[in-house]
Structure 1
Amino acid sequence: MPDTPEDPVDHTRTSRRFTGETMKNTRTTPGLALVAVAVLALAGALYLLAVGHMAGAALAAGIATALGAAGAAWIRAEHHRVVRHEERWLTAHPQVPPDPPAG
């Protein structure tokens, strides 16, 4: 099974098929980058708040919130795509038992 974003589910090497999903599914990279920039914007907001620049702190916090929400939405959408891909794969391979629910 090739390690490509087109087949991001690990069907054979682990007992949990979503293990390492972020590393194998490179389509989540933009979402991870958005979250990283959001963390930096949050740090900037805290710095601006500490030096007393309230307007700049509010703007940076708003940017951090927007970028964090966009990044989380991107990652969630990609995870749902991976889940749909696994459901199609399990339908095509009925002899393979599905993973038990994680929890």
Structure 2
Amino acid sequence: MFQPRPAETGSFPFPVRVQHDRPANEFRLVADIYPTQNDDLTVHVGTNRVRLAVASGDAVFERTIAPLPSRRVFGDDHRGAYNNGVLTLTLETRVGIR
């Protein structure tokens, strides 16, 4: 079943929502980072975590998200889009060894 997680806030001033759809083997991250420009955004995807970095003026805001349950890792299939201040990442998940 598709189980959304609540938006998370903190020192990263942009709302982020993550969802893991285990039956579809898919993880989705949506971040509202308006008014950030595309060049001010950095995304790194590791085996089991995603790191976002947003440059805004003289500051850089970073957020690392490790949302996957035990034994799940990100696969090779991934898509990303940035449109009108909204970043959407869709990543394949699979059972793997960390």
State if a TM-score over 0.5 links the two structures.
Answer: no
TM-score (norm. length: structure 1): 0.32
Bigger CA radius of gyration: 1
For normalisation by structure 2, the TM-score amounts to: 0.33
